[in-house]
Structure 1
Amino acid sequence: MGGEQVKILRVLNNNAVVVKHGELEKIIFGAGIGFQKGKNDPVNQQKIEKIFSMEENTPKFEQLLKTLPLEVIEMGEEIISYAEGEMHLPLSDHVHISIIDHLAFALERIKQGFPIENKLLHEIKALYQEEFRIGLWAVQKIKKDLDIELPEDEAGHIALHLHTAKLQTGSMEDTMQRTSLIQDLIQIVEERANLELSEQGMSYHRLVVHLNFALSRAEEEKVFDDMDPDMLDLVQTKYKKAYDIAYEIANYVRQETGLPFPLPEIGYIALHIQRILSNQSMS
């Protein structure tokens, strides 16, 4: 903090204190930084590990720091630090609340014998690969440090929190809605093609990613016309079943969101579906 003496406003626990720095209140985190300290005591600069400036969320974060076990707080912070290093970008301040709060809830559920499930797991794996890989690291870290075994589903939950915490990616609700919508679209393909898409490997992955980009293009009103009319006619006639499924997907998207898919977009989705249908007929 620039070498100037900073005094404690409030001690949250042995490892977290609130200070005033300029006009802002900040939370300083460090092992033993609040031990046997009180208001107006100077902060030991050498013990500072992290500084949070969270004007809007400070009361909630203070409450978390007061009520949760230190090991949960430290684990959450380790996951966040690892994620920022791996993704080479800062995450929103709110991630300190969302990850720690979620982690505490997940660990409590496991201790009480409740299962952790994630119905969007397959879609999360395909859409948020980097975040999911970090989620898997977090699950292994929790097992190693806390001796608590969490399922792969939990890695998916952590991945969603990390993706949402990327600056300018919208809210957790937006992320969940998009992922859930893609799951609905995949289910339409599964029902019409009578197969489990998650078993299709790369073809499934390509379809999920294409659907995600198609939805983003529609939201941003970007014109997608990268398919000439002759090619589109060929897809409509030669791959009629795949095109009909793609058209049904487009209708579903329009009904649920009001977003239109242009015919070339539907044609490309049909090609992805055709690849899956071809794989099925070969197996």
Structure 2
Amino acid sequence: MKIKKVLNNNAVIVLDDGKEKVAVGAGIAFNKKRNDIVNVNKIEKIFVMRENDKLEQLLSRIPEEHFTISEEIITYAERHMGTKLNEHIHIVLTDHLSFAIERSRDGIEINNKLLHEIKILYQKEFEIGLWALKHIKEVCQVDMPIDEAAFIALHLHTMKPHGGDLHQTVRQTAIIRDMVQSIKNHLSIAVEENDISYHRLITHLRFTLTRLSQYAPHSMDEEMIVMIQKKFPVSYNYAKEIAKDLLNLHGINLPDQELGYITLHIERLRKR
């Protein structure tokens, strides 16, 4: 396995079976140059990268330490989620983390307005994000706000197989936040972050929006909808108001079947 290009001390582009691959490992390229043989015992990770030019540009302008930290987080994430992430994660996460670390060193913090929703919707990814913050502190001596764990979680989620587009994921999460806020406003209640009913509501709203985007609403028969309307009239009226807010804010129309299920969640919150 010969080196085609040295990216930094810990990363090289190699030719393997006629394919360009990125090999990563501590000191793998130390005192190495083009056409030198790679010490396979130093390879910790190897992957095919269709965006070698972008990776090279990124590594030329960030501290080598940031790339190493990012790769350690990616390895940890793949192990704990039990899945391989899209190769693009090596660019987007490294770029994000490097900027975030420098920002934190300068005392600049960016709030993540979707923090609470991300913690619930992408729990495993968020826990990995918390580990990442701890790891960054140990390596770089930089304290980063918990908001960064949520940003990391979003990157990890969207780089999973079938994880979805980052823009669409952020938009969906923002819509859920608006719907929850609408429910709080109409019911005039404060919902505890760790309340199981709150978790169930947010999870349900996520699946509701996913179903609507796929044109596959919940199947609830007419008799059940009528029964819910009669048994929980107050909660059903609240559900209609929330649906109206959703239509006005985001142009999304909730069908009667979805209103029925949301009514049940609202009733549970009201009866806490």
Taking structure 1 as the reference length, the TM-score comes to 0.88
2:31 counterpart residue number: 36
Choose 266-275 or 58-67, whichever is displaced more: 58-67
- 1:205 Cα deviation after fit: 0.8
Q: Residue type matched to 1:114 in 2?
A: I
SS in 1 for 2:271: helix
**Is 1:60 aligned to 2:51, yes or no?**
no
Alignment of structure 1 residues 32-181 onto 2, 5 Å:
32-55=27-50, 57-181=51-175
- 1:26 Cα deviation after fit: 1.6
RMSD of Structure 2 on Structure 1 (CA): 2.0
**Is 1:236 aligned to 2:224, yes or no?**
no
1:3 counterpart residue number: none
Native 8 Å contact 1:16 1:65 kept in 2: no
- 1:228 Cα deviation after fit: 5.3
1:27 counterpart residue number: 22
Q: Structure 2: how far apart are the matches of 1:225 and 1:172?
A: 29
SS in 2 for 1:217: helix
Q: Structure 1: how far apart are the matches of 2:130 and 2:194?
A: 22
Q: Residue type matched to 1:20 in 2?
A: L
SS in 1 for 2:243: helix
- 1:120 Cα deviation after fit: 0.1
- 1:200 Cα deviation after fit: 6.4
Q: Deviations over 1:2-23 (max 9, x none)?
A: xxxx222211222211122244
Q: Deviations over 1:192-223 (max 9, x none)?
A: 11233344611111110011111122222224
Cα distance change, pair 182–140 in 1 and its aligned pair in 2 (3 A): same
1:275 counterpart residue number: 268
2:195 counterpart residue number: 201
2:2 counterpart residue number: 7
Cα distance change, pair 92–256 in 1 and its aligned pair in 2 (3 A): farther
Q: Structure 2: how far apart are the matches of 1:240 and 1:219?
A: 28
Native 8 Å contact 1:106 1:116 kept in 2: no
Q: Percent identity?
A: 46
Native 8 Å contact 2:77 2:128 kept in 1: yes
2:220 counterpart residue number: 226
Alignment of structure 1 residues 246-261 onto 2, 5 Å:
246-254=239-247, 259-261=252-254
> Which ranges in structure 2 are unaligned for 5 or more consecutive residues?
none
Choose 235-244 or 45-54, whichever is displaced more: 235-244
Q: Structure 2: how far apart are the matches of 1:48 and 1:66?
A: 21
Native 8 Å contact 1:92 1:165 kept in 2: yes
> Which ranges in structure 1 are unaligned for 5 or more consecutive residues?
1-5
Native 8 Å contact 2:208 2:217 kept in 1: no
- 1:261 Cα deviation after fit: 2.9
Aligned residues between the structures = 272
Choose 189-198 or 98-107, whichever is displaced more: 189-198
Cα distance change, pair 199–19 in 1 and its aligned pair in 2 (3 A): closer
